[in-house]
A and B are shown apart, each in its own frame.
Chain A
Amino acid sequence: MSTSARFWTGIDPLDKMLGGGFMRGDSVLIAGSAGTGKSTLCLQYLVQGAKEGEPGIYLTFEELPDQLYRDAANIGMDLRTLEREKKLKVICTSPDVMVEAEGVQAILEGPIAEINARRIAVDSLSHFSMFVKPEDMRLQVYRTVMFFKTKNLSSLLCWEAPQLTGQTFGVSEEGISFLTDCIVLLRYIEIESGIRRGIVVLKMRGSAHDKLLREYEITSTGIKVQAPFTEYEGLLAGSPTKRASEKFAELFTKASAGKK
Chain B
Amino acid sequence: MISGKDLLERLLSSEAKGEMLTLFHKNPGLIDTVDGIGRRVGKSKEQIEVDVKDFVEMGILKAIKAGKLTLYSLNAQRDQEIQASLAEYFGGLKA
- B26 contact set on A, CB distance < 8 A: 64-66
Establish whether residues B27 and A93, one from each chain, have CB atoms under 8 Å apart when the complex forms: no
- B65 contact set on A, CB distance < 8 A: 102, 106
| A83 CA / B35 CA spacing, docked (Å) | 27
Q: How many residues of A contact B (CB 8 A)?
A: 19
Establish whether residues A64 and B40, one from each chain, have CB atoms under 8 Å apart when the complex forms: yes
Partner of A106, one of B23, B30, B39, B66: B66
Partner of B64, one of A65, A96, A106: A106
Q: Which residues of chain B in 42-95 are interfacial with respect to chain A, using CB atoms and an 8 Å cutoff?
A: 64-69, 71
| A156 CA / B30 CA spacing, docked (Å) | 20
- A106 contact set on B, CB distance < 8 A: 64-67, 71
Stretch among A31-39, A84-92, A185-193 lining the B interface: A84-92
Q: Using A106-B71, A107-B71 as known contacts, say yes or no to A90 and B66 having CB atoms under 8 A apart.
A: no
Majority secondary structure of chain B interface residues (helix, strand, loop or mixed): mixed
- A101 contact set on B, CB distance < 8 A: 67
Does B36 reach chain A (CB closer than 8 Å)? yes
Establish whether residues A91 and B31, one from each chain, have CB atoms under 8 Å apart when the complex forms: yes
Establish whether residues A94 and B32, one from each chain, have CB atoms under 8 Å apart when the complex forms: yes
0 or 1 for each of B1-31: is its CB under 8 Å from A? (1 = yes) = 0000000000000000000000100111111
| A154 CA / B77 CA spacing, docked (Å) | 30
Does A78 reach chain B (CB closer than 8 Å)? no
| A97 CA / B32 CA spacing, docked (Å) | 8
Establish whether residues B69 and A100, one from each chain, have CB atoms under 8 Å apart when the complex forms: yes
- A97 contact set on B, CB distance < 8 A: 31-33, 36, 66, 69, 71
Establish whether residues A107 and B66, one from each chain, have CB atoms under 8 Å apart when the complex forms: yes
| A107 CA / B31 CA spacing, docked (Å) | 7
Establish whether residues B67 and A92, one from each chain, have CB atoms under 8 Å apart when the complex forms: no
Q: Using A92-B32, A94-B35 as known contacts, say yes or no to A65 and B66 having CB atoms under 8 A apart.
A: no
Does A103 reach chain B (CB closer than 8 Å)? yes
| A64 CA / B42 CA spacing, docked (Å) | 14
Question: Can you name the residue of chain A whose Cβ is closest to the Cβ of B37?
Answer: A94
- A91 contact set on B, CB distance < 8 A: 29-31
Establish whether residues B68 and A100, one from each chain, have CB atoms under 8 Å apart when the complex forms: yes
Establish whether residues B36 and A93, one from each chain, have CB atoms under 8 Å apart when the complex forms: yes
Q: CB within 8 Å of B: which residues of A?
A: 64-66, 83, 89-94, 96-97, 100-103, 105-107
Q: CB within 8 Å of A: which residues of B?
A: 23, 26-33, 35-36, 39-40, 64-69, 71
Can you report 13 residue pairs joining A to B where beta carbons are below 8 Å apart?
A64-B23, A64-B27, A65-B28, A65-B29, A89-B29, A93-B36, A94-B39, A96-B69, A97-B31, A97-B71, A100-B67, A103-B69, A106-B64
Question: What are the 8 tightest A-B residue pairs by CB atom distance, in nearest-first order?
Answer: A106-B66, A94-B36, A66-B26, A101-B67, A102-B67, A65-B27, A90-B29, A100-B67
